Every structure is written in C-alpha cells, then in structure tokens.
Structure 1
Amino acid sequence: MVPDSAPPGGWLPSEPSERRTSGGRGPAADTHPQEVTVTANHPTRRSILKSAGGLGAALALGGASVLATASTAHAADDGFGLHITDRGEADARMWYYRFHTAEIGWDPAVNVLLPDDYHTSGRTYPVLYLLHGGLQDFIEFDHRGVRDWTIGKPLIVVMPDGGQAGWYSNPVSTNVGPRNWESFHINQLIPWVDANFRTFAEPEGRAVSGFSMGGFGALKYAAKYWGHFASVSAHSGPASLRRDNGAVVHWANVSAAVKDLAGGTIYGAPLWDQARVTADNPVERLESYRNKRIFLVAGTSPDPTNPFDTFNETAVLAGQREFRALLDGAGIPYEAHEESGGHFIRPDMMRRDIDGIIGRLRKA
C-alpha cells in the first residue's frame, strides 16, 4: 500500500510554478523508506567512447566554447538561446536559474546542485541530469532529499523543469505556443551547463536519470542522443510505448492535451507520427543502450484502491520487464530492481543509483 503521504507523481506533471526557488531550503524527510530487493544485477563499467569521440560529441553540442570551464565558481551568463530572468546563487550548494527561451512559451527553471567542495577544489566534475515526474517540477528532488543523497559526492546534479505534461518531447502540435522541452534540454541546457560550470563536456562525464515521466525522458534521451550520456536510469519510468495497444502513447497524448498543449498532442491524434514513436521508444532502440550503464526500478504492489497508482506502476512494471527481456536477448547488461509498493520515489534506490553513476562516470 502507498502511504497517504506518498507524492502523487505520475506521468501527469504539475502546473509550472512561476517563481519557485529552492536555494537555502533544507531537504524534505524521506517519506518512503524501502528495503532493497535486487532481482537482476548486471553491472558494467566499460568505456563507451575514447576521448576523441567525447571531443567530437562536445563540439557537436555547440562548438569549442562548450569545452570552456571556469577555474572558480562564478555567476552564470546567458548563452545558447537562454536568457537568465531570475537567479539564486547565495546558497553554498543549490543554485537556481530561470530562463527566457524561444523553445518554451513560459520561463522554465533549473536547480543546479554543486558538490560540497566545488567552490574550493578547482576540480572538474561529472554531471547527472535528474528529470522530474508527474505532478512535480524542477524543485521536486530538493523536497525529496537530493542534498542528503549527494553529501560528500563528487557530482553536479542538474534538475530542470520538464513541463506540465511535456514528456521530454517536442510535441507534434500545440495551441499554446512553443513547448519544445527536448530542444530546451538537449540543445540549450546541456551546453549552457558545460559553459558555466566545471564539467566534463563529453558522454563519459554525463548521466541522465528520472522518475516516472522523467524516467521515460531519461531512457529516451540516452537512446536518441546516444553520444551525450554514459549512464541512464529509470525510476518507475515506462520503457515500452506500444504495448497494451499503445497505452503510454495514448496517455502522453491525453495528458499533454489537457494539461500542457490546450488540445495539442505529443505524438499526434488520431493518427500517430509513427517515426516519432519509434525514435522515442526504448524497446525499439536497444543498440543505443549498448555499453551504457542501465539502472531500472519498478514497483510490484501498487495501491489497489488508487486507480492512478495501479495504472501507472502496472504499466511501468510490464514495460520494464519487456525491456529487460530484450536487453537480455541482445546481451546488453543492466541492473534492475523490483521493489514493494507502487508509483513513488524511493530514496534508497536514488542513493544506490547515484553511487553507481559516480562509479561509471569520469572521476572528478
């Protein structure tokens, strides 16, 4: 059973908070402690690209300027189509920014969580892009305890807005102006982070992880933009778009039409953009995951009295099992956990994931 205090985070995200910041706030207490039950454990630490390949990927992101890193912490600047409209840099670790961008019809925000020693070490760090789920926004992981999860860890964590029902996509249609979350994250935010913080601007220096809709976004980004990330994680994130008569595609279309696009859709309706579905569908992109670290979490016992929880995690579990079977058949290793409970963030799994990410990426 899911406790009453469980966050309602599912595939349907929250209203954007126009001026929410988290600088200086302490993390919320963990509300869902879980015992770790490992059902499949296939760790891998193989390198996916040589340094020359990493250089090429970085240059493709935005030119040689992407490779520039600061020697000390400093106020971030505009760039890559992003104009900073609000910022909070007073907190020692959690820095906040809000941007104007032509890709989004309102000003999205991002939290950047710095390592404890960032301001004094002079070191370069790997980066985790951590994507929120439904009924959540960029501040969600601060509430859930990301500061505690990363104390003493040599890792920068970037937590951007992903829209009300953005699905980490550029929609087929919109009636409310641009909602191009995919372009914002991949073409603007990643090179902006690399230009303003001391990061490894290469795939071996980046991981992507997320919860629910964000878990899908992580799986999608890691496959579609193969040369950007060396590690991918999905915490209760759907991994199969077409199964069960396309339930996830239909839900993406309906949720986006109602909450984000005023009748527009992510994949098109009544006819889908089939090429787009295939490009986004993890189970159809298996080879794109080869030589990456893959970390999957799904719940096995959603609350039977909560249709939303049951629908979400039942589909997640079935889709992840399908994905894992295909990975097994292709000889692609992964680490998978099936945990008791339903559709919510599991702090112990987040901690385990972060440790695995640090083990896989370049060392600070």
Structure 2
Amino acid sequence: MNRSIAVARSPDALARTYPVLYLFHGGGTDQDFMTWDRLPEGGIRAWTAGKPIIVVMPDGGHAGWYSNPVNSHTGPRNWETFHIDQLLRWIDANFRTYAEYDGRAVGGFSMGGFGALKYAAKYYGHFASVSAHSGPPSLRRDLSAVAHWANVSSVALDLGGGTIYGEPFDEARVSADNPMEHIESYRNKRVFMVAGTSPTPVDPFDLLNETEVLAGQREFRAGLDRAGIPHEWHEEPGGHFVRPEMAIRDIDGIIARLRQA
C-alpha cells in the first residue's frame, strides 16, 4: 500500500498546539494525496496560509473508498485501518495536536467526501466536524448505485479484480459504511455539504456523478432535518469539482468549531 501523506502546518507549529483537518481526495487515476494542493487559486496551502490548523492529506488509493475491501488481488489495501488505527496515532505522536474529539475535523471531495461522512459516523468520537464537497452520502439509493460504483471502480483501479463490498454485497459492510443508515451519529457535529446543480450534460462522468451526489445529499439532508440535526448545505451551479469559495468557507467554519490553537 502506498502510504503517502502530505501535511501542511503553520511556521510556528512547534510552539503551539493545533486542531487537525484530515482532508481526503477523490477517486480516479488523476487523484492522490496531493490533489488538494493542485486546485485552482492556490489550493489548500493558500487557503489555509496563516490559519491556526494542521491539514493532513493521506493517500486513499485510486478507488480505495476509504474502506477495507472484501477482497484484494493486489496485496493489502486496508485504507480504513491505515487511516483510523495508524495515521491518526502517528500524527498525534509527531505533531503538537489536540488528540481529542474537539481537535479533529474530516472532509473530502467526491469519494473522499464519502470517506469523511463514513468515518465521522463510524468513529463518532474521533471528529467534531465533517465536510463533503460533492461527496455521496447514500450507498443504497437508486438500486445501490454508489455501492456498485465502488465495486466496479475498485476492480479496475485498485484491487486487481477484488471488490470493496463483494459480489453479491456483504450487506453488513454496506450498512456499516452507509451514512444514510447512521443519521443519529451526526448529532453534535458540525456538518457541511456542497453539491452541484448543473453538471455538464455532454460529460457522462460529470453528469452521472453529480446527479447522484445531489440526489443523495438531498436525501441525507432530509434525514438530518427529521432528526433535528443542524447542518450547513449549499447547492451551487456547475458539476463535480471542488469550489474554492466553498472550500474556504468550510475551512473557516472548521476552525471556528474546533478547539483553538
């Protein structure tokens, strides 16, 4: 497993204790732990320059889905174990961080937005803020379209014929990972979501991805509303991409929610 990570921190990080944002990339061969650095308008380092937060951007595989797969034919690809059991401990052991609930946020784009929503629910006490930029929160809607896409993409890009959820599905795994089935786990967290309303009709990838994301986020928001769980949501023009203005707004909200440096 490629366990590459990037860490952005303030120049005086050795003299202060900081909250941490774990920030996840999307899926595809053009996505990796440096994706958030390569975005327009300077990317994550420009957007957090001078702000009191450490940003950790780990690798998650081309189609790892922030999960331990049912099977892999390319060696260990246990991204969930790496991130939750190893990475968090390593960061807290090597940087001046608040190693606690109010000291950590998790966010991501696309597949990484799903991973953030999944981890925030599945590991409730780890993260006080969760953000999904064009991230799908529902694995089972539309005949389990996102769960099927996780399987199909992982077969080709990560697992050499293995799958994330198995064929047929390991239903217990799907349910354990599905944010829609764990609405109550978002209570007392800051929840931030963005989805596009006008994906490019001539680009099947953009159209299919963001159409599913938008419908899933609306379903998820309705679940949060029924449970009386506050959340911040935005529907913006365009399709499946990170919007710098939304990312900056999110970062400021994360810093306001977490324990101060």
Using the size of structure 2 for normalisation, the TM-score is 0.97
Q: Which whole-Å deviations, capped at 9, do the CAs of 1:252-283 have from their partners, x for residues lacking one?
A: 000001111111000010x1111111111011
| Alignment partners' CA distance in 1, 2:160 and 2:136 | 24
Aligned to 1:162: 60
Match of 1:320, SS state, is: helix
Aligned counterparts, 1:199-214, within 5 A: 199-214=97-112
Q: Residue in 2 aligned with 1:148?
A: 46
Which of structures 1 and 2 has the larger relative contact order (alpha carbons within 8 angstroms, sep 6+)?
1
**AA aligned opposite 1:283:** M
Q: CA RMSD in A?
A: 0.7
Distance 1:186 1:224 in 2: 10
Match of 1:347 among 230, 239, 244: 244
- Correspondence for 1:250: 148
CA-to-aligned-CA distance 1:110-150 (integer Å, 9 cap, x gap): 0000024324xx11000000000123100111112111100
User: Which 4+ stretches in 1 moved above 3 angstroms?
Assistant: none
User: What secondary structure, in the 3-state scheme, does the structure 1 residue paired with 2:38 have?
Assistant: helix
1:294-333 alignment, distance < 5 Å: 294-333=191-230
Which letter does structure 1 place at the counterpart of 2:210? E
Does the residue aligned with 1:133 lie in a helix, a strand or coil? coil
Equivalent position amino acid for 1:155 in 2: I
Q: Deviation digits for residues 209-258 of structure 1, max 9, x if unmatched?
A: 00000000000000000010000000000011000000001100000011
For 2:109, the aligned partner's letter is F
Going by fraction, where is helix more abundant, 1 or 2?
2
Mapped partners of 2:35, 2:56: distance in 1: 12
Structure 1 residue identity aligned to 2:115: G
Structure 1: 5+ residue stretches without partners: 1-103
Query: Residue in 1 aligned with 2:158?
Result: 260
2:6 counterpart (84, 87, 111)? 111
Q: Distance in 1 between matches of 2:62 and 2:36?
A: 16
Name structure 2 gaps, 5 residues minimum.
none
Q: Deviations over 1:17-57 (max 9, x none)?
A: xxxxxxxxxxxxxxxxxxxxxxxxxxxxxxxxxxxxxxxxx
Q: Which amino acid aligns with 2:3?
A: P
Distance (whole Å) between structure 2 residues aligned to residue 176 and residue 117 of structure 1: 41
Q: Do the aligned partners of 1:138 and 1:160 also contact (CA within 8 Å) in 2?
A: yes
| Structure 1 length-normalised TM | 0.70
Aligned pair count?
A: 256
**Aligned-partner SS, 1:285:** helix
How many angstroms apart in 2 are the aligned matches of 1:347 and 1:134? 19
Q: Distance in 1 between matches of 2:247 and 2:93?
A: 27
Aligned residue for 1:148, secondary structure, equals: helix
Aligned to 2:86: 188
Cα distance between partner residues in 2 of 1:343 and 1:134: 12
Give the CA deviation at 1:305: 0.3
